[in-house]
Every structure is written in structure tokens, then in C-alpha cells.
Amino acid sequence: MSAQDRVIKKWLETNTFHHSEFWDLRELVRAKEEAGLTISLCIPTLNEEKTIGKEIIVFKSELMDRYPLVDELAVIDSGSTDRTLDIAKSYGADTYLSSDILPAQGSKPGKGENLWKAIHQLKGDVICYVDADIKNIHPKFVSGLVAPLLYREEIQYVKAFYDRPLAVSGGIRPSGGGRVTEILVRPLFSLFFPELTALMQPLSGEYAARREVLETLPFPIGYGVETSHLIDLYQAHGLAAFAQTDLDKRVHRNQSTIDLGKMSFGILQTFLNRLRHYDIVANLPEWEGLFRQIQAEGRTYDMLNHRIVEEERPPMVTLPEYQKRHGK
């Protein structure tokens, strides 16, 4: 067994958890108070009226009203054209338009933009991000992620992993999911950052981290935000800074292969940018950010060009507005 494999094996034994270990929410509240931490929950949204209401109801009733584990529950929206914001507000969430936060910095499209601006807007010492399209929502999507941060000071960033059944006609097929991870990200990690292969689902949209970490990280505004976080934090603190929690199952809508291609193209750009930044690979060429796909209909073949440029926001702590608001 190689030295890297030994590191991975030990980490899997000590830093991989199951949500059932943290079933006692009253005990988690005690641990939070003892640690002197506050927790903000951020749900980034774009047209999620079908699922956002249930998420707010579950999180607010169980993790704020019944057990005060979460101190702040906020929706950061990219400009929904449906009733997402109205529904979220009616059930008690704080609601913000991403474009209204840090107006001097302008507004850019992308989920990463919402996550970045949440650091400025929210107050918690720990920020937990949960996607808005989860159909089997449960308090464990928050409690299972924040718990390792409450009990172990050396842990900085906790990722979720789970089975991701594909919704198909006739019911749920209990397999599949994580396609971009297994086809793109895991092979790249295996080549360049082998220890990061210990993370079961590096692209999961559910994770919790300490503010003092998030504020120091640059944020790609699009698909590459999770990948960049992992590489940057790993380069600074090593695998020991991470933990992961098994949440059993996550049911949500699945993207088409065409959309997964766009996602992969954005992630690949972010990955190559990190190789360049850390001088891991020399003489990488510049790229134009044009993703080309071919669509066939009968004997007609059309080229579909998508311009996808993984622009990055700077570390939040470098902004004067943030320094003023949070006393940095």
C-alpha cells in the first residue's frame, strides 16, 4: 500500500461519518453553544417553486423552532421568474436577490455567485449550503454536515455524499448519479490530487464550512466552484481539513447529458486554472471558452456553440465592504 493510500484509508476511518451518529439534535445544540458558534443555512435558488416550500418548512420547524441549531435561514436567489421567493418568504426564510448584495461588485449569473455573496450577507460562523431541488428533504441535510465542525476544531469543511437514484418512469431506479464525478473529476483527482479521491462526491451541492475558510477562497461563479474549493483548501491545509457525511439518499431532478457536458467543460476549465496557479503543469495554452456540441436530427447536423467561461470572484475577505460589515 502506497503512502497516499495509507493516508486515504486512515482519513476514511476518522473523517467519514454517517448522519445517524448525530441523531440527537438537542445534543448538537448543546455542542454548538459550548463551541460558541452560530450557524447560517443558505439555500441558493433559481426557479425552485416546486420544492423550496417543503425545504423551508422542514428546516425552520425542526432546526430553528423545535431545536435552535440554525440561527439564520436564508434564500439567495439568482432572479427566479416563478414564485420561489414569495413561497420562501411566506414560510419564514430571509430572502435576498443576489443582484442586490454587494451592488458595487455588479451581478453575474451562476450558482457560485450566490454562494459567494452569501458569505457577505449572512452572519454565521459556520455556513451550510443546501441545494433547493431536494425532494426527500430531511433535517439530516444540515445536522449531518455541521456536526463534525462542532465537535472537532481541526475540521474546516464537510461534504455530503449519498446515493443518487435516477427518477424514471415507473418509479425510482436505485442506481446512477454522480456521472460527472466518476467520468471527469475522479480521474483528474487520481492523476493530480490522489488524496482528494477519498471524497465520495466532491461535486455535491450540500456542504458546511467555517466562515474563516470560505472568506479566503476565490469563487468561480459557475460549475467549477466546488472543485476549486477542494483543491484550494487541500493545497493550504491538506486532507485533514476535510470531513464527509453519508446522508443515505438524495432524490432530485437529473440533468441531461447535454447539460452535463456543459458542466464538465466549466469544471475542466477551473481544474486547469488550478494546475496553472499552483505550477503543477507548465505551458498550458490559453483557451477561448467555447464548448462545441453536435446535434443530429435525421440527416441534418447542427453545431451548437456555448460560451462558458469560469470567471472567478476574489476571496471575500479582500473586499472593503466585507471587512467593514464583518469587522475584519
* pLDDT tens sequence across 96-124: 999 999 999 999 988 999 999 999 999 99
Average pLDDT, the chain: 91
Domain of residue 101 covers 3-326
Q: Which of 233, 265, 252 is nearest to 178 (CA)?
A: 252
**Could you tell me the pTM of the whole model?**
0.92
CA geometry: angle 276, 280, 283, nearest 5 deg: 55
Residue-wise pLDDT tens digits, 78-95: 999 999 999 999 999 999
Cβ atoms of 54 and 280 closer than 8 Å: no
| 3-state secondary structure labels for all residues of 136-173 | CCCCHHHHHHHHHHHHCCCCCEEEEEEECCEEECCEEE
What's the CA gap between 131 and 46, in Å, rounded?
10
**Burial of 99 per CB tally in 10 Å (0-12, 13-18, 19+):** middle
Q: pLDDT, tens digit, for every residue of 183-196?
A: 999 999 999 999 99
pLDDT bucket at 174, cuts 50 / 70 / 90: very low
- Predicted confidence band of residue 165 (pLDDT cuts 50, 70, 90): low
CATH number assigned to the domain comprising residue 319: 3.90.550.10
Q: Specify the number of domains making up the chain.
A: 1
Task: Please give the Cα distance from 162 to 169 (Å, whole number).
Answer: 22
